[in-house]
Every structure is written in C-alpha cells, then in structure tokens.
Amino acid sequence: MKLDVVMYQFANIKASKTYSKAEVLLHNKRTDCWIIVKDKVYNVTLFVEEHPGGDAILTHAGDDSMGGFFG
C-alpha cells in the first residue's frame, strides 16, 4: 500500500513522489530523518540538531508524527 504523500525538503523545495510507509520507515536516523505529518512526508534531517525538543524528534523518525505535533 502506498501513501499518497508529497516530499518536502526542509528548504520548502517540493518534489512530487509517492512513498510507501515502508520506504519512509527506512529514513529513521539522525543523519537521515523523514517524518509524516498529515499524509505529507518531510525530510527534516537538517532540522534534527535544531529541534527545540532535542532528540524527541527521533522518536517519530521514519513514522507518523501526528502525536508529536498534536499530542
């Protein structure tokens, strides 16, 4: 099953592509960190070190981050 998502780079460069959840899950490291928010995939790798919650962003790396945003 493919997610209907759009990849957004940190610098707001939009690249249209569809990713499966399994593909996103591979990007679950500090040096390669993607998250899903409202069915959109974000590459937040460049933001990991700046995240105000510290390593909390890595809790949802490669996964759906709705809980992290909306509790």
Q: 13-48 pLDDT, tens per residue?
A: 556 678 888 888 999 898 998 888 878 888 888 777
- Computed on alpha carbons and rounded to an integer, the radius of gyration of the chain in Å comes to 11
Containing structural domain, residue 51:
2-70
The encoded tokens of residue 37 equal 């928010």
DSSP state of 37: E
pLDDT computed for residue 70 by the predictor: 60
Say what the pLDDT of residue 1 is. 46
Angstrom distance (rounded) from CA 63 to CA 24: 7
d(CA 24, CA 34): 7
Contact 21, 1 (CB under 8 A): yes
pLDDT confidence bin for 49, thresholds 50/70/90: confident
- Tell me, what amino acid is at 13? I
Element (H, E) at 34: strand 32-37
- The total of structural domains in the chain comes to 1
pTM for the complete prediction? 0.67
58: domain CATH number is 3.10.120.10
pLDDT for 53: 63
